[in-house]
Amino acid sequence: MFADLFITDVDMARNLDLTALRSFVTVADAGGVTRAASLLNLTQSAVSMQIKRLEDSLGLGLFCRAARRLSLTPEGEQLMGYARRMLSLNDEALARMTGAAYEGEIRLGVPHDIVYPVIPAILKRHAQEFPRVRVNLVSSFTLRLRELFARGELDLMLTTEDQPGEGGAILAERDLVWIGAPEGTVWQRRPLRLAFEEVCIFRTRALAALDAAGIPWELGYSGQSDQVMETTAAADLAVTVRMRGVVPAGCAVIEAGNILPPLGQTRICLYDAQVQRGEVVDRLKHDLASAYT
């Protein structure tokens, strides 16, 4: 029994020679060793030796040599399908790992409030699939990202805005919601204390909604730090606004019925500067669209 196990382990460790497989496929396609040797830039004897080594390693004859033109045996026909797939995968891997088409830099802008949870997973997957392409992430407010995009400092950009500008594609529509501390009470107090970044695109809409509803408010906390506003809300010191589905950790949607006014919807949009072209940037755009749709 142990001898059988040993033989099985040895058999599992055997590998087909890709160089020999390439010669095998080329000989079959070219119809002979002479033409194949020219295509492979090898001598005829080198190609013949590779074919013989492949046949010996398998213990099978791969070509019928009776006719003037080589033809495949049934075993050769069976191996041909595997050989083509193995060579194709080998060539694809080499192209991805070493080809100039799969190296470089893509500058991606994403608003603070929609980075999590999807962007880390997308970046990790792209780093694994295209290791020679560096995706530089810039996370800021939509207004700031639009400025960078206009100056040519971003290749791709996501935004959260009511209506996309020129060239923007709408990926999704999301409800805007009031958020605060789980089981918090600050939302019941008047004037309502608010925490908004100075350039937050939701700020104007929230203030207009409160004014229209006749609810007094005060800006208790402001600045240019998204994390500070979220921490303030999580501490039940103020309320702020986010999109439903991307509520930060430590906060919760304030389901207050009609006590706080509805805020409507906003849109997640994708912009492409059309500077970067090819499979890599197309894949990144596809992944972004799929994640937010």
Tally the domains of the chain. 2
Range of the domain at 155: 106-293
Segment 101-147, tens digit of pLDDT:
667 899 999 998 899 889 999 999 998 888 888 999 999 989 999 99
State whether 110 and 37 are in the same domain: no
* 93 and 174, same domain (yes or no): no
80 and 125 assigned to the same domain: no
Q: Which residues of the chain have pLDDT under 50?
A: 1-10
Long-range contacts, 123-129 (Cβ 8 Å, 24+): 125/287, 126/280, 126/283, 126/284, 126/287, 129/96, 129/283
Give the pLDDT score at 8: 41
Same domain, yes or no, for 159 and 55?
no
Threshold 0.85, pTM exceeds: no
Domain limit, last residue, from 42, 72, 98: 98
Question: Which CATH number characterizes residue 131's domain?
Answer: 3.40.190.290
Residues 271 and 150 in one domain: yes
pLDDT at 181: 96
Pair 153, 265 in one domain: yes
CATH for 61: 1.10.10.10
Question: Within this chain, do residues 60 and 7 fall inside the same structural domain, yes or no?
Answer: yes
Instruction: Answer for the pair 155, 276: CB distance below 8 angstroms, yes or no.
Output: yes
